[in-house]
Copies of this chain bind each other. A is one copy, B any other.
């Protein structure tokens, strides 16, 4: 029998907490019965929800008096969040009582608390948020999705290395194609830091192939497996994909209601529409890892429902099972000797919050 995977849950984070968290936990164990939970939250609100699921009868529950509001600044969360569900859930990973933590709460606070409590992996200056998006041929890994608004060349190089290992662990792509997001494929295009990162990546031995600059329309087309960008651009790209997918679904719905014949056609093709919709469903891609930390920390979309939250839990379980963080640690240790000076310089400097 495989070892159980213990995941800490912040039951109070997200727009639909604690309901979506607890119901999501129940969905997740249906799919992966190997997962056990430590759940952190307000007893009065969480206990009745736990009682609804027989499969959650054996979770370890910790009452926490506070929770981190969605609009709290990271600095305030660090000062005032000591007894919050989010902080105590992260603490349980640092203490070795859980192997990973999942929260749908305040992203900035989660990143700040996780960096403080867990610390960064050796060689990583700045942890990043990594997620996947749908493409014509499968899925594509993207990072950073919003943790670091501005990134220098070394940050981008580190993201590329972490992203390629993520693609191996989460998507089982052995030789991922790694691209830097830019507004043209020509050498001269883009910000200075992109050109500097490209120069370093061409010299760096990677587990994958650096294919140079990619443009945004190449992502859904499936031309690249790992897209590296700063957190501002990554976040906007992700939200543009989500918004445009909804727009297309909406246009289709409207078009199918314009005539009687179209309505009959829509009825017959209903299964196909559901299939198309599910391939674009953001819930299916929910669960963004804060990669580069000493511990698995997964951020769920704040507005997701129980199905989406369950997916974030399953992502965390998979990354724990695949030993992603150990792989990153090993690879950075191996790469130290092989990295060019510019990347080494920043790796040597200490990480500051």
Contacts and interface: CB of A to CB of B under 8 A. Distances in A.
A352 interface: no
Nearest to A218: B243
Interface in A236-262: 236-252, 254-256, 258-259, 261-262
A183 B237 contact: no
Interface stretch (A44-52, A159-167, A198-206, A274-282): A274-282
Contact of A243 (B217, B238, B252, B272): B217
Given A241-B244, A244-B220, A269-B269, A255 B276 contact: yes
A71 interface: yes
Contacts of A235: 183, 216
Contact of A232 (B188, B190, B240, B275): B190
Contact of A183 (B134, B186, B232): B232
Contacts of A244: 220, 240-241, 244-245, 248
A57 interface: no
A71 to B, nearest CB: 6
A233 interface: yes
Interface in A317-350: none
A264 interface: yes
A188 to B, nearest CB: 7
6 contacts: A136-B250, A191-B232, A240-B241, A258-B272, A261-B268, A265-B266
Interface of A: 71, 73, 134-136, 146, 149-150, 181, 183, 186, 188, 190-191, 215-221, 231-233, 235-252, 254-256, 258-259, 261-262, 264-273, 275-276, 279-280
